[in-house]
Homo-oligomer: A and B are copies of this chain.
Amino acid sequence: MGDQVTAAVTGDLVRVSAATLERLRREPAASQDAVALFASACRINTLYMIARAGSGHVGTCFSCMDILALLHRRRMGPDDIFFSSKGHDAPALYSTLIGLGRLDYDRLDRLRRVDGLPGHPDVETPGIVTNTGSLGMGISKAKGMIKADRLLGRHREFFVLTGDGELQEGQFWESLASAVRDELSELTVIVDHNKVQSDTLVSRVSDLGDLEAKLRAFGWEVRRCNGHDLAALDQALQRDPTDRRPLIVIADTIKGRGVPFMEHDQLPLDTENYPFHSGAPTLDQYAGALEALTATAEAQAQALGFEGLAWDTVSLSPAGTGAAATAEPPPPERLVDAYGQALLIQAAAHPELVALDADLVLDTGLIPFQQRYPDRFVECGIAEQDMVSQAGGMALQGLLPVVHSFACFLSTRPNEQIYNNATEGTRILYVGTMGGVLPGAPGHSHQSVRDVSALGAMPGMTLLQPGCAAEVAPLLDWAVNDCPGSAYLRLLSLPWPAAFERPVDTTLVPGQGYDVRPTSTPAAEVAFIAHGPVLLSQAMAAADRLEASAGISARVINLPWLNQVDADWLAELAATVGLLVALDDHYRIGGQGDRIAHALAREVRAATGFLHLGLQRVPVCGTSDEVLAAHGLDAECIAAATEHALSPGAGS
């Protein structure tokens, strides 16, 4: 869930050497000490990967590291299948696979980079059997694989790791019944019960209650053990061959295990949020964590009589990280913070306004609201369908619910529930952060480039995206006070430099955009129409390039309305330019460009050219520069495509 993309750690980073890993995997797997040392080595490499990438989920990686090590070093046969349903523990799995020699050692340097190791698992990576990162799908996926095995006459064991916060998702419970009915004894599920989800303790967010009783009532064989006690874990994972029930092992673990200051039971989580769920450690934190982990590893090696524990030190300079680096000047703006402040203003004026959260207060800017209006804050846990239908009930009874999650989840997981609400004609605001293709670091499960399509046809719903931090408050104000129906506010999460200065007196007219490039002339050859900070900044830079290199004049229009275009306004604009270029931070199908094209086809029977740039395939994972370039959406690609479209006889 939560995925803060922070700064990469620079300086001296340390990884376990390839030679050490090779020697480690030659140690007999029967020895628990060898497995424990393997896990420690993998923790060190996981820390390295996350620090270098600038983001990742260190706490959950460390809580499941012993489980991964035991499974891969001892429990699983060569054909057996493992995958993690929670997915954000991907660096732990990558470290394991690298430790086993199944993934190239060099990939340690390429977490969350293009052609490297994605932020969440993807089948393009060797050893990854399914894409995860959207929660709750794991058991269902495994059931499908087992049914395929049975039909194809194969027999393998399947091991699926889940989180504990993940168990708040309805699909988890939905998936339990048929595994019992079909006697899927090939299936072992391990719950990494580290007690902490994105924001804080599971028990504070949405308590799981008597988990063993629940799972037993669903007919599964249920066991529970200390997930860091390899002997206990090993025993819990041994199956009785006469038992046809699927097995679920609740492994009690510690989030951040191995680094005392990251271990959740050392932190005051009764009152504070857990600080190491996502993002990268600071340099000091990195050093402290490394010290703790290497001390443990050295002690384990000594006890085991393992010689030759060797480190590689990699010196990284700031320029070399590439993480989230762009050609834009500082300082970046935080739209999510601006949103959090803007919400307070609306909340003060509207006592009927309530905020609903799905375990992402940090990522959706809700902490100030939660503190100021605890009675009007509803924590729903990782249960988006329940959250959205609750909002529906509230709206029917006169409240103004504001529903929050990541755009990728909010627009799709409760898609039918949002439509059900829409058919009731009530007013609800939906706020999706992490909207658009950036940050590219978490990977495609989190890159929300289909939300406008998924929500665009909701009757009575207006979709909006601010182009800069200064536009957040006006758009929210419009959504709360002027919008006749429901609204969806799409927010960039990645800090980003403002591409333009928004005049305070800018008038919001539904479906109309406005010029943001001061040097633009009313009659230009090209007009870029874009939304959101990322593509507006690329459009600005592309316009500069075109002007400088080819003498082509270009206007840049910010159109914050994602699912409506004022046809008259567009006709007027089209009359002044030779080519309209719609830039979509979204798949080309279903994005803002469709609305522009639609208005053009209906209303503008002119000779204005139309070029539409947007995603045409599943987004790649990587740094901002990498991702924009890969999809032809950086300034250079935009300028080139525009120049090509202007050339005589060019199609688009």
- Residues on A facing B (Cβ under 8 Å): 122-123, 129-132, 134, 136-137, 140-149, 151-152, 168-175, 177-178, 180-181, 206-210, 213-214, 216-219, 354, 375-376, 378, 380-381, 383, 385-399, 401, 408-409, 412-413, 415-417, 419-420, 422-425, 444-445, 450, 453-454, 456-459, 563, 586-587, 589-591, 593-598, 600-603, 605, 607-612, 616-618, 651-652
Contact = CB atoms under 8 A, between A and B. Distances in A.
A426 to B, nearest CB: 9
Given A354-B151, A390-B144, A444-B423, A607 B605 contact: yes
Most buried by B among A144, A180, A396, A612: A144
Contacts of A388: 140
A323 to B, nearest CB: 23
Q: Which of A143, A213, A590 has the most CB of B within 10 A?
A: A590
A465 to B, nearest CB: 16
Nearest to A399: B148
A432 B413 CA distance: 18
B397 A131 contact: no
Nearest to A212: B217
A181 B152 contact: no
Given A218-B209, A563-B589, A170 B385 contact: yes
Contacts of A594: 590, 594, 597-598
Contacts of A395: 144
A125 to B, nearest CB: 12
Contacts of A143: 386, 390, 393
Ranked 8 nearest A-B pairs via Cβ: A144-B393, A170-B170, A170-B174, A140-B389, A173-B173, A148-B397, A144-B390, A412-B416
A386 B137 CA distance: 7
B148 A394 contact: yes
15 contacts: A141-B392, A144-B392, A148-B396, A148-B398, A170-B175, A174-B385, A174-B386, A177-B383, A216-B217, A217-B217, A413-B415, A415-B454, A453-B456, A590-B590, A590-B594
Contacts of A618: 422-423, 425, 459
Nearest to A447: B423
A328 to B, nearest CB: 28
Contact of A144 (B149, B389, B413): B389
Contact of A147 (B219, B378, B589, B607): B378
A415 B417 contact: no
Contacts of A399: 148, 151-152
B393 A142 contact: yes
A130 B426 CA distance: 11
B392 A130 contact: yes
A591 B152 CA distance: 39
A422 to B, nearest CB: 7
Contacts of A172: 170
Given A174-B385, A354-B151, A598-B597, A131 B589 contact: no
Nearest to A598: B597
A222 to B, nearest CB: 11
Contacts of A383: 174-175, 177-178
A584 to B, nearest CB: 10
Contacts of A136: 170, 385
A445 to B, nearest CB: 7
Contact of A145 (B141, B142, B393): B393
A456 B589 contact: yes
A140 B444 CA distance: 29
A600 B603 contact: no
Contact of A177 (B206, B390, B393): B206
A544 to B, nearest CB: 26
A393 B148 contact: yes
Name the residue in A180, A387, A396, A399 with the highest tally of chain B Cβ atoms < 10 Å from its Cβ.
A396
Nearest to A617: B459
Given A217-B214, A420-B131, A453-B457, A397 B145 contact: yes
Contacts of A617: 459
Contact of A612 (B207, B208, B602): B602
Nearest to A156: B397
A397 to B, nearest CB: 4
B393 A130 contact: yes
A195 to B, nearest CB: 16
Contacts of A208: 177
A144 B378 CA distance: 10
A401 B383 CA distance: 28
A457 B397 CA distance: 35
A408 to B, nearest CB: 8
Given A140-B393, A168-B174, A424-B130, A609 B605 contact: yes
Contact of A450 (B175, B387, B457, B598): B457
Given A141-B392, A394-B145, A602 B610 contact: yes
A204 to B, nearest CB: 10
Nearest to A416: B412
A96 to B, nearest CB: 20
Nearest to A81: B397
A147 B177 contact: no
A526 to B, nearest CB: 15
Nearest to A587: B457
Given A385-B171, A594-B594, A618-B459, A217 B210 contact: yes
Nearest to A389: B140
Nearest to A593: B598
B390 A147 contact: yes
Contact of A206 (B123, B178, B600): B178
A457 to B, nearest CB: 4
Nearest to A213: B217
Contacts of A416: 134, 408-409, 412-413, 415
